[in-house]
Amino acid sequence: MFSYYDRLECSACSKQYDPHQLANLCECGSPLVARYRLDEAARTLNKEELKGDSLWRYHAMLPVQSEEGIVTMGEGMTPLLKLPRLGAQLGLSNLSVKDESVNPTGSFKARGLAMAISRAAELGVTKVAIPSAGNAGGATSAYAARAGIEAFVFMPKDVPKAFIIECEVNGAHVQLVDGLISDCGKLVGALKAENGWFELSTLKEPYRLEGKKTLGYELAEQRGWTLPDVILYPTGGGTGLIGMWKAFDEMEALGWIGSKRPRMVSVQAEGCAPMVRAFHRGDAKAEPWVNASTVAAGLRVPGGVGDAMILTALRDSEGTGVTVSDEELLENARLMGRAEGLFVCPEGGAVLAGLRKLIDQGWVQPDEEVVLFNTGSGLKYLDAFSN
Ligand SMILES: *Cc1c(COP(=O)(O)O)cnc(C)c1O
């Protein structure tokens, strides 16, 4: 069986949808998620027999229906690197980073968009549109080019220049918007019907989440099918965090891991922290952040449809949320370079800055296993590091 994909289900009201029809949100306005025939898969799949050196080794738990449907540039199976020098500086005996900067297009957005574009192509889409704070646009433009799909990317006009150039070089139509990613999203929503675009906005399309969940499968596999004590994730729209949380449940249902879960931590910038604020207020949903501002482009997301799912994962995991200033996240990105030779994106610096705060608060203990997510390369943010 190439894929055990079974149905689309609403994350809020559980209404079910045909898995082989194009879909965006549920009628009720909440994200749809892909569900699999887990019982059947648990009986037949063997985790020792996974094949391939990209995220497509988990194809049985992914929505694409056949080998021919895969649009790939070798995304996934990124290194899980130990950080002994940094760990010693912080007093931690077991610190690692999942280094997503080595993905095609330089960030973990490749995972989600490889999946979404593969699936869109499989279902006959010829034009896609996406609002992006940067890396999602680059990944969309690349995978769309490989699939022969026309891409329309809407980005804030002040995103780092590399993102704009990358999209243009990959043949996408780029529209720069005087506003934030949320304003770009409104434009895509307003223009898509008349232009025949299929919308790929975060969690308004169900398969980017399936690509991102492979972070969780890989992390478990690379650790011998165990999970760490703490995961720190730089949170924008939250697909990686929600995706990992989903992957853990799927793997437990498959009998691949046990019931232990990491404490999930959302790290956001002080200038845009809607999820961290909602978490500490005890809210079930997050109010949009006004005047969102941070150099960490991927974190400049004032709100989104995944808020309830993010907050659920943080609470169910007994995790937390923490904010860091732009100064702290850039300083910690430089430290990753000095201590471990990794030129991480500002978002990657943010998780290290967040970890430092949680150690100071006694929330992370010296002997705990901690995994940081470096979600992309520093190379696209030269302006931020030049100051
Ligand atoms: C998009 C992005 C994020 C945030 O990811 P979400 O899944 O939207 O929360 C973090 N870091 C980088 C580099 C990004 O491009």
> What is the distance in A from the centroid of ligand 1 to the CA of 45?
31
Does residue 31 have its Cβ closer than 6 Å to ligand 1? no
All residues at 6 or more sequence positions from 341 whose CB lies less than 8 Å from its CB, including other chains: none
Q: Determine how many CB atoms are found less than 10 A away from the CB of residue 303.
A: 21
Residues of the chain predicted below pLDDT 70: none
Q: Specify if 270 maps to a domain.
A: yes
Q: Is the CB of 298 under 6 A from ligand 1?
A: yes
> Which atom of ligand 1 is the closest one to the Cα of 243?
7
pLDDT of residue 72: 98
Q: What is the pLDDT of residue 387?
A: 73
**304 ligand 1 Cβ < 6 A:** no
pLDDT at 69: 98
Tell me the pLDDT tens digit for each residue of 129-144. 999 988 999 999 999 9
Residue nearest atom 2 of ligand 1, based on CA coordinates = 298
Which backbone phi and psi does 267 adopt, to 5 degrees? -110, 130
CB 38 within 8 A of CB 250: yes
How many domains are contained in the chain? 1
Write down the pLDDT at residue 225: 98
Residue 130 lies in a domain: no
Residue 155 lies in a domain: no
What is the rounded CA–CA span in Å between residue 312 and residue 333? 29
Question: Which region holds residue 362: left if phi is over 0, alpha if psi is between -120 and 50, else beta?
Answer: left
Which domain range does residue 310 map to? Answer: 80-107+209-386
Alpha helices in 282-363 (DSSP H): 307-316, 326-340, 346-360
d(CA 17, CA 6): 10
254: domain CATH number is 3.40.50.1100
Per this entry, what is the length of the chain?
A: 387
Residue at 258 is within a domain: yes
132 lines ligand 1 (CB under 6 A): no
Could you tell me the CA-to-CA distances from 80 to 90, 220, 242, 316, 372 in Å, in that order?
Answer: 19, 10, 20, 25, 10
Is residue 42 one of the residues assigned to a domain?
no
Residue 262 lies in a domain: yes
For residue 233, the model assigns a pLDDT of 98
Residue 183 lies in a domain: no
**4 within some domain:** no
> In this structure, which residue's CA is closest to atom 8 in ligand 1?
237
Residue 295 to residue 345: CA distance in whole angstroms:
10
